[in-house]
Amino acid sequence: MLQSPTETNVNNYRLFATAEDTDFGNPPTLTITTSGPASAPAISALTITPAQNTGGTTTVTSLTPQLAASVADPIGGPLTGEFEIEHDPAATGQGAGQISLPACWHR
């Protein structure tokens, strides 16, 4: 049931059938429209260890590296992200696609 935000008029409500009630046809759909500040999440200070950097190329030297990053959003609130590591497409002899790692970060 939906009712007026003021709820002063007790006759101002709408009843909707449930998904299980087949007498009314299609089940109800709830659409919520909101507005607010634009989100602009950013990531910085990405690190992976152990690794070595030679000539601008970073090579991970472990099968279980540690990944870390700082995340921020000017509107605040909790942020959650995941790391994805892929093979270098230019190094076709090393494989292709995503490399699975059990790594996740939260703020």
Tokens coding 19: 């998904």
More confident residue, 75 or 6: 75
Q: Which amino acid is at 82?
A: E
pLDDT tens per residue, range 23-46: 766 666 778 777 777 788 888 998
Task: Report the predicted TM-score, pTM, of the whole model to 2 decimal places.
Answer: 0.46
Give, as one character, the DSSP assignment of residue 97. S
Say which residue, 18 or 85, is predicted with more confidence.
85
pLDDT at 50: 92
- Segment 7-13 shows an average pLDDT of 68
How far apart are the C-alpha atoms of 33 and 45, rounded to whole Å? 35
Q: Which residue has the higher pLDDT, 21 or 47?
A: 47
Quote the tokens at residue 26.
């299609």
CA dihedral over 85, 86, 90, 93, signed as positive or negative: positive
Range 99-107 average pLDDT? 53
Average pLDDT over residues 12-25: 69
